[in-house]
Amino acid sequence: MNVRELLVECGSVGKDIILEIEEGELTRKSRMAFVRVVVAHITKNFGDSYAAEVIKYTSLQGKWQSYLRINASATTSKQASKQASKQASKQASKQASKQASKQASKQASKQASKQASKQASKQASKQASKRASERASERASERASERASERASERASERASEQASKQASKQASKQASKQASKQASSNAKQAELSQMSSKPSKRRNSRQGYKLKSEQKINHLLYMDDLKLYGKNEKEIEALINTVRIFSTDISMEFGLDKCARQIIQRGKVKLTEGLQMNIGKISDVQLGEGYKYLGILQNMENMQKEVKTNATITYKKRLRQVLRSKLNGQFKMQAINSYALPVITYTAGIIDWTKNELEEVDRKTRKILTMHGALHPRADIHRLYLPRNCGGRGLHEVRATVDLECAGITEYIHTKKGEDPLINAVWQHQTQGRECEPSTRKALKKKWVEETREVWMQKPLHGQYPREVEEITKKEHAYRWTASTGLKIETEALITAAQDQALNTKYHKTKILRVSTYPKCRMCKLSDETISHITSACQNLAGTLYLKRHNDLASAIHRKVCQNYDFHVEPVPWQHKPNLVEENDKAKILWDFEIRTDRVMTARRPDLVIIDKGNKIATIVDVAVPSDTNIERKEREKIEKYQDLRLEVQRMWDVKAKVVPVVVGALGASTQNLDKHLEEIPGIHKAPDLLKAALLGNAHILQRFLDLPDSR
DNA sequence: TAAGGAGGTGGGTCACAACT
DNA sequence: AGTTGTGACCCACCTCCTTA
């Protein structure tokens, strides 16, 4: 299809366009006409759904070069490439909007109200589902839908907001229903209010209120202690306020006049008045620039987006810092942020229109604050930060994702309830604009999000290296069990995860990845490359000192528990426990790092622990190791193999049944599937998390010490 | 070099005012 | 009343910078 020919065909309009293109700039008017001509042509020839590919028409000279030649085809064509379909959808949407606007032009007046109601319903539905999630009761849903319609009415008609004093409205509703049933002669307004609060369905049919497009009337919103009244003009509002006042008086409650406010909107504009003078006092108008807080959201003629956002962000950050300054451990700090700080933002989800950028900004700020408090290494992976702990993440909730999920939840709620309530249905209709669709559930979205985030993390060349390697060796729940069970400080947690992410400042990293150094070898032993796994488990210079201490800490933790089991005296505090070479009483004998004299010559005869249970005639040979995470399984097999000779010798010499138990914990927290099974074989109660914690603390100490050393080169 | 963050760019949408 | 022009805003995408 040649665009130029097309323009020539369509007469004077086309000729003008051609002229303009050749002369220089195309005016917006002509550009639009241009698009209309092209789109009309395509839809005429290829139907409503087509694929179009836009190609530069290089054979033309001058200005025409930058304009387009379009290859259009019906969408069934298999040749349509990805690009083509992308373009097509773009064009299609363009065209759709064009046509829509044309058609809609006739209904301009309707559109205006549509837009108003669109926004209104959006906000309303959000609030609706929020309440609903809290109460999931009929009342809640009703109120919600009412709020929706209320919002819709806001722009088009006058509106006044009014809040009765808290307890008044609460008790009023209760008492009102009682009184109404008791006294048939009670005044009409009383009856009306009682209906409002006790029989929601009738309340909607009352005379007063703002009328929606769907013919329903709405005259108030009530949630707990917040009451809002709506009327189609000032008089109605006065009448409604009067109703509330009468009730308040009846039950001896006073109007909290200073907490009430009114707003009159005429033709979409706020009309400021002196306020409403009543015999009990004056209800003043909502002041310009100020707002009125309804259910925690600052509102004026509409939600005060900017103010709410700023306030929410400030409070969020304040709470975030508060949590991080606390003495909670890493896991609980994350939980506290999720349940104490984050809801400040998520409460506004669906009511306030957060942009993607704003939410990402909040996330960035969060990470910055975390880093400032030592809770996140600046080079650590951010996708991992937001993954659940059982997937290897740190269990923080991403603000953006949480808000998205919240909105999805609201949509889901409205979708399921729309059949039960005409007002909710109205909200749904506004939101979908007639396009029926099945919203995906919140749960499914969450699952999808976790999967995708995890995939991104795993695919990263550097950060994804650890999970890829370690998950080949052991199961996820064993590799990451330390994150949920050890109760480490958040700083230690950050250090360990940064080490797993290969994000620490090692010489190998500097040389091979940053290329700022030329010497990748270890600063201590100068033999191997200075990688994380080298520092944590393979450096010869550290073997006799730091590794030994880590190893002994772990072994002595086991020793202490064994001693407790056989009623030996132990220090009350674990870290003060100093194992003796030999402990013996009538129940058992415990050897610590003891070289066993054997008749036959053998290499491995000095295990970390030998426990001889005298009663059961069982000897347990325990050996502890903290290898690099990728070696745990191999190490475990090696240990068992290594002590087989000794086991047989012990059986023969001491006339007991002997077994070898390896306790292998990865330096960065991974463990094998067998760890729990092995621990059960050792007398006493041994918990894997305690051992993991001992290993990780030792390891964090090693990393800190090592990386703090001056670079020799 | 990997990753995150910041800023720029182009395209799209929307609201509003001016014009026809 | 309908059309057109304009600016604000948003978003996706890209590039560049920074940091380790």
A299 in a structural domain: no
A120 in a structural domain: no
Q: Is the pLDDT of residue A160 over 60?
A: no
pLDDT of residue A135: 34
Interval A370-381: pLDDT, tens: 877 778 887 778
pLDDT of residue A620: 93
Percent pLDDT > 90 in chain A is 6
Closest by CA position to A478, among listed A629, A369, A603: A629
Rounded to an integer, the average pLDDT of A85-111 is: 37
A121 in a structural domain: no
pLDDT of residue A660: 93
pLDDT of residue A662: 93
Give me A9's structure tokens.
């065909």
Footprint of strand B on the protein (CB under 7 A): A 90, 93-94, 97, 115, 119, 361, 364, 367-368, 381-383, 460-464, 513-515
pLDDT of residue A199: 33
Interval A35-93: pLDDT, tens: 666 666 665 665 544 444 444 333 333 333 334 344 444 433 333 333 333 333 334 33
A137 in a structural domain: no
**CA atoms of A162 and A164, how far apart (whole Å):** 7
- Same domain as A518, residue A556: no
Phi-psi region of A504 (alpha: psi -120 to 50; beta: other; left: phi over 0): beta
pLDDT of residue A361: 74
pLDDT of residue A543: 82
Q: Is the pLDDT of residue A710 over 60?
A: no
A35 in a structural domain: yes
**Chain C bases closer than 7 A to any CB of the protein:** 1-6, 9-12, 19-20
Kindly report which listed range (A221-230, A533-542, A627-636) carries the lowest average pLDDT score.
Answer: A221-230
- Same domain as A470, residue A324: yes
Proximity of residue A462 CB to strand C below 7 A: no
- Same domain as A446, residue A362: yes
DSSP string, A286-308: PPTT--EEETTEEESSSB-HHHH
Taking the CA of residue A395 and the C1' sugar atom of nucleotide B12, their distance in angstroms comes to 37
A135 in a structural domain: no
Query: Which nucleotide is closest to the Cα of A457 by its C1'?
Result: B3
Closest by CA position to A398, among listed A410, A409, A384, A411: A384
Kindly report which listed range (A292-306, A564-578, A640-654) carries the lowest average pLDDT score.
Answer: A292-306
Q: Is the pLDDT of residue A393 over 50?
A: yes
Q: Determine the 3-state secondary structure of A599 from DSSP.
A: coil
Q: Where a domain ends, among A287, A316, A339?
A: A287
pLDDT of residue A47: 52
Q: Is the pLDDT of residue A593 over 60?
A: yes
Comparing A136 with A349, the larger pLDDT belongs to: A349
Taking the CA of residue A514 and the C1' sugar atom of nucleotide B3, their distance in angstroms comes to 12
**CA atoms of A560 and A582, how far apart (whole Å):** 13
pLDDT of residue A50: 47
Nearest residue for C20, CA–C1'? A379
- Same domain as A556, residue A476: no
Residue A95 pLDDT level (bands cut at 50, 70, 90): very low
pLDDT of residue A103: 37
Taking the CA of residue A84 and the C1' sugar atom of nucleotide B6, their distance in angstroms comes to 32
Proximity of residue A504 CB to strand C below 7 A: yes
**CA atoms of A399 and A358, how far apart (whole Å):** 10
- Same domain as A595, residue A447: no
CA A329 to chain CA centroid, Å, is: 21
**Chain B bases closer than 7 A to any CB of the protein:** 1-6, 11-15
Proximity of residue A109 CB to strand C below 7 A: yes
Q: Is the pLDDT of residue A129 over 70?
A: no
A129 in a structural domain: no
pLDDT of residue A5: 73
Rounded to an integer, the average pLDDT of A638-663 is: 90
- Same domain as A267, residue A403: no
A703 in a structural domain: no
Query: Which nucleotide is closest to the Cα of A505 by its C1'?
Result: C20
Nearest residue for C5, CA–C1'? A28
Comparing A245 with A697, the larger pLDDT belongs to: A697
- Same domain as A164, residue A49: yes
- Same domain as A572, residue A518: no
Mean pLDDT of chain A: 69
Interval A5-20: pLDDT, tens: 777 776 666 776 777 6
Q: Is A248 exposed, middle or buried (0-12, 13-18, 19+ CB in 10 A)?
A: buried
**CA atoms of A99 and A16, how far apart (whole Å):** 23
- Same domain as A553, residue A537: no
Residue A704 pLDDT level (bands cut at 50, 70, 90): confident
Q: Is the pLDDT of residue A166 over 80?
A: no
Q: Is the pLDDT of residue A185 over 50?
A: no
Proximity of residue A27 CB to strand C below 7 A: yes
CA dihedral (A80, A81, A85, A87) in degrees, to 10, reads -110
- Cβ pair A129, A413 in contact under 8 A: yes
**CA atoms of A603 and A645, how far apart (whole Å):** 9
Query: Which nucleotide is closest to the Cα of A365 by its C1'?
Result: B5
Proximity of residue A378 CB to strand C below 7 A: yes
Rounded to an integer, the average pLDDT of A663-684 is: 88
Q: Determine the 3-state secondary structure of A184 from DSSP.
A: coil
**CA atoms of A713 and A693, how far apart (whole Å):** 34
Comparing A39 with A501, the larger pLDDT belongs to: A501
Residue A220 pLDDT level (bands cut at 50, 70, 90): confident
**Encoded amino acid at A648, one letter:** L
- How many domains does one find in chain A? 5
Taking the CA of residue A29 and the C1' sugar atom of nucleotide C4, their distance in angstroms comes to 7
Taking the CA of residue A354 and the C1' sugar atom of nucleotide B16, their distance in angstroms comes to 23
- Cβ pair A376, A367 in contact under 8 A: yes
Rounded to an integer, the average pLDDT of A637-658 is: 90
Taking the CA of residue A675 and the C1' sugar atom of nucleotide C3, their distance in angstroms comes to 76
- Same domain as A172, residue A209: no
Taking the CA of residue A225 and the C1' sugar atom of nucleotide C7, their distance in angstroms comes to 43
pLDDT of residue A288: 66
Taking the CA of residue A362 and the C1' sugar atom of nucleotide B6, their distance in angstroms comes to 15
Residue A29 pLDDT level (bands cut at 50, 70, 90): low
Give me A99's structure tokens.
């046509």
Residue A163 pLDDT level (bands cut at 50, 70, 90): very low
Proximity of residue A355 CB to strand C below 7 A: yes
Rounded to an integer, the average pLDDT of A600-609 is: 85
**CA atoms of A623 and A644, how far apart (whole Å):** 12
Q: Is the pLDDT of residue A3 over 80?
A: no
pLDDT of residue A188: 28
- Same domain as A552, residue A537: no
- Same domain as A510, residue A439: no
Domain boundaries, position A370: 306-485
Taking the CA of residue A367 and the C1' sugar atom of nucleotide C18, their distance in angstroms comes to 16
Q: Is the pLDDT of residue A196 over 60?
A: no
Taking the CA of residue A383 and the C1' sugar atom of nucleotide B3, their distance in angstroms comes to 11
Proximity of residue A515 CB to strand C below 7 A: no
